[in-house]
A and B are shown apart, each in its own frame.
Chain A
C-alpha cells in the first residue's frame, strides 16, 4: 500500500487531482481484503455502501467541503448508525438495527466521511483485550499472537493495519488510549461532555466518552473538530464556544510546564516502557519544556473506585436488555420473569455478567454506603488530586499502560490482572478530564509503547499542542506494522 495514510495527505492528493475518492475507498477496501484475515478488526464491512458514497463524493468534489469529506473510517460497534446492525459485539443485541444515527455518526455523515465498517470490541466495551467479544478475537497488527488492547481494539487495529484512515472509539476507563498505545496509533479521550454520547450504547454513563483514533496528532485534531460540540439530545454535553483544534498544532512549546506524576513511574511499570518515557522526557527538554514533579496520592485507589462506579452504572444501564423491545430473546421460558432471566443469562457473556453482578451487589441494600457511596467519595478525592496537580503545570506526562501488548490468553482467566492494564488511564475518566495517547517508541521485540498526556477539563488544546510538538520531533508515527 502506498504511503497515503492520513486525512491531510489524502486531501493534498485530491487537491492535486492525483487520486479520486473512489480510488481512495477502493485502496482501503483492497487492503481490508488482504489483511482482515490476519487482524479481524471488523464485525461488518460495508463495501457496496462505501463505494457508492465514494462515487457520490467524486461527483461533488468541486463543491466546498470539509477535511474529512470522502475519507474512509471505522465505527466502533457500540455507536449507532441508522440501518446498520449494531451489536456491541454481544449476542444479546444480535440483529439490532438502530432506527436512528448517533450524533457523531450523523455529524460525520454530514461532513461526508465514509464508514467502511463496524469495528470489533469487548462486549459492551467491558474489557482490555478484545477477548470478550462474542463475535471473534481481534489480533494486534504488530504481532498477531498478541491482543490489540480494548475495548476499542478493532478501532485501533484497523487504523494501525491501514484498513481505514481513522476510526471512532469510546473510552470509559482507557478503552481508546490503551488499544491506541498497544497498536502504535494516536487515541484521544475528550473531556467528559465535549462530545455527544447520544446513540452511544451506554456502559457507564458518567464516564463514557467518544473519541478519535488516528495515525497522527493532526488527524486527531481534525476529527475532533468534526465530532465535538453541544447536543440537545445529550443533556450532559456542554454548551461551549466552538474551537478549531488544528490551530494548536504548533511545534513550539518552549516554556510549557509538564508535570511528572511520581506515582506512575514506580512498581508495576515495565522497565522498557519506563525507558521510552524517560527518552520522551529528554525530547521535551530539548524542546524547551519545563518539568515539575506532581503527586496524585489517591490514584492508587482509582481502579477500586472505578470498578464499583462503572459496574454499578452498567448494572443499571444493562437492565434494559430483557428480550422485549429489541435484540435476542431466549426461545424457551415459563413466564415473564423466566423470559428475562433466560434471555439475559444466554445473551450476555462472562465478563458482562461479572460486572452486572458486582454492580448489583454494590448497589444492593446494606452495601450501597460501603461500596457505591464510598467509591463516589474517593472520586472526589481523585478529582481534587488532579486539580492540585494542574496548579503547577499545563499537562501531565505518564505511560498510557504499564506494559506493551500482552499475549492472547495471557490474562483472560484472571479478571483482576486484566483490570491492572488500565491503571494509568482510569483516573482520567474518574476526573472527567481529557487525555491522549501517542506513540513514543518500541520495546525490544518491536511492540509500540504509548505515552499519555493528560490535560485539565476542556484543556484539549494543551495536550494536542504537547502531543504534536513531540510527534514533530520524533518519527515513531511513521513506522507501520508489517502484515
Chain B
C-alpha cells in the first residue's frame, strides 16, 4: 500500500490536524510502513466471519426514565478556556 502526500493531507483534514511539509513527509513514510505491516491481515481468509466490535454480549443497557441530578452549570464550565454568560464561548460561526 503506497501512501501519498495527498492521502496524508486528506486524512489530516478529516482528523482536524495540520502538519508542515516535513511532518507530512514523515507521515507518508511512517504510516506507509504501518499500513504495510497491516497488509498481513489479508493473508487470512475472513469470508463469512462475524466481526466482533465488542467482547461482551451486552446490548441496549436501559434504565428507568427518571430525573437524576446532572452536572451543575458552574462545574461544567469551570474548565472552559473561554466562557460568557454561563455558556462556552466559541468564535463567530455565522456570517
Residues of A at the B interface (CB closer than 8 Å) are: 95-97, 99-100, 192-193, 206, 232, 235-236, 238, 298, 300-301, 304-305, 307-308, 315, 319, 322-329, 333, 335-337, 339-342, 344-345, 348, 353-354, 356-358, 360-361, 364, 371, 373-381, 383, 415-416, 431-432, 457
Contacts and interface: CB of A to CB of B under 8 A. Distances in A.
A304 B8 CA distance: 20
B16 A377 contact: no
Interface of B: 7-8, 11-12, 14-19, 27, 30-31, 33-35, 37-38, 40-44, 46, 49-56, 58, 61, 63, 71, 75-76, 78-82, 88, 90-93
B34 A236 contact: no
Contact of A235 (B19, B58, B76): B58
A238 B56 contact: yes
Prevailing SS type, chain B contact patch: loop
Contacts of B8: 357
B63 A232 contact: yes
A380 B48 CA distance: 11
A353 B23 CA distance: 11
23 contacts: A96-B79, A99-B71, A192-B55, A193-B58, A206-B53, A235-B58, A236-B58, A238-B58, A301-B40, A304-B37, A319-B16, A325-B88, A327-B79, A340-B16, A344-B15, A345-B18, A345-B19, A356-B15, A357-B17, A374-B41, A374-B46, A378-B41, A432-B56
The 7 closest A-B pairs by CB, nearest first: A432-B55, A376-B51, A326-B79, A329-B81, A235-B61, A377-B46, A99-B75
Contact of A354 (B27, B38, B44): B27
Contacts of A356: 15, 17
B74 to A, nearest CB: 9
B90 A339 contact: yes
A335 B16 CA distance: 13
Contact of A100 (B27, B54, B71, B90): B71
A425 to B, nearest CB: 16
Choose among A97, A192, A333, A376 the residue with the greatest number of B CB atoms under 10 Å from its CB: A376
Contacts of B40: 300-301, 304
B53 A360 contact: no
B90 A353 contact: no
Given A99-B76, A99-B78, A364-B11, 10 more contacts: A301-B44, A325-B88, A335-B91, A340-B16, A344-B17, A354-B31, A360-B14, A378-B46, A383-B52, A416-B37
Contacts of B46: 374, 377-378, 381
A324 to B, nearest CB: 5
A236 B55 CA distance: 10
A336 B63 contact: no
Prevailing SS type, chain A contact patch: helix
B90 A381 contact: no
Contacts of A300: 40
B30 A354 contact: yes
B51 A360 contact: no
A95 B76 CA distance: 14
Given A345-B18, A356-B17, A336 B90 contact: yes
Nearest to B27: A357
Contacts of B76: 99
Contacts of B12: 357
A376 B53 CA distance: 6
B9 to A, nearest CB: 11
A324 B88 contact: yes
Contacts of B34: 307, 358, 415-416
A361 B31 contact: yes
A257 to B, nearest CB: 23
A339 B90 CA distance: 9
Nearest to A380: B52
Contacts of B35: 358, 361
A360 B41 contact: no
A336 B91 contact: yes
Given A358-B31, A358-B34, A416-B34, A431 B55 contact: yes
A327 B81 contact: yes
Contacts of B37: 304, 416
B81 A324 contact: yes
A163 B83 CA distance: 40
Given A335-B91, A361-B31, A432-B56, A353 B17 contact: yes
Contacts of A329: 81-82
Contact of B50 (A324, A377, A415): A377
Contacts of A333: 91
